[in-house]
């Protein structure tokens, strides 16, 4: 069974640009989560999508947005990039919307903003 996949693996952008990160969940999983792992800030929850709807959002500005497609894959968009957006962006999926379902992570996308 294929795991969670993310693309691209690495990305370099400049301040003010926009970026789109992509995630494909494990087959049969309907929930997709996005986390940011910035140096010195640990892992922070960004967004949660299930059945095409945004279910929960972390404490991030509106320039962080995303969506989930009918095939449950997801995109994370970041507009007006700032230097502090440099981080590893991790996507995770879980099989259903219920308390405590294990989240399985992809390999991440490393974003560097210059």
93 binds another protein (CB under 8 A): no
36 binds another protein (CB under 8 A): no
Q: How many residues bind another protein (CB under 8 A)?
A: 28
d(CA 53, CA 85): 24
Interactions with another protein, residue window 45-84 (CB under 8 A): 45, 48, 55-56, 58
Among 35, 49, 64, 72, binds another protein (CB under 8 A): 35
Strands 87-94, 31-38: pairing is antiparallel
* 84 CB burial (10 A radius; 0-12, 13-18, 19+): exposed
CB of 114 to another protein, least distance (A): 21
In sequence order, which residues have a C-beta less than 8 Å from that of residue 43 and are 6 or more positions away?
A: 35, 36, 37, 90
Residues that bind another protein (CB under 8 A): 31, 33, 35, 37, 42-43, 45, 48, 55-56, 58, 88, 90, 92, 94, 97-108, 110
């Amino acid at each position: 069974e294929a795991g969670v996949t993310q693309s691209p693996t690495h990305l370099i952008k400049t301040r003010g640009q926009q970026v789109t990160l992509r995630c494909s969940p494990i087959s049969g999983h309907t929930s997709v989560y996005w986390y940011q792992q910035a140096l010195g800030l640990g892992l922070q929850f960004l967004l949660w999508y299930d059945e095409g709807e945004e279910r929960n959002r972390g404490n991030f500005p509106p320039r962080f947005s995303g969506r989930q497609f009918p095939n449950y894959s997801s995109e994370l968009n970041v507009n007006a990039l700032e230097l502090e957006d440099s981080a590893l962006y991790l996507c995770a999926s879980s099989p259903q919307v219920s308390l405590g379902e294990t989240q399985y992570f992809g390999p991440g996308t490393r974003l560097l903003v210059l």
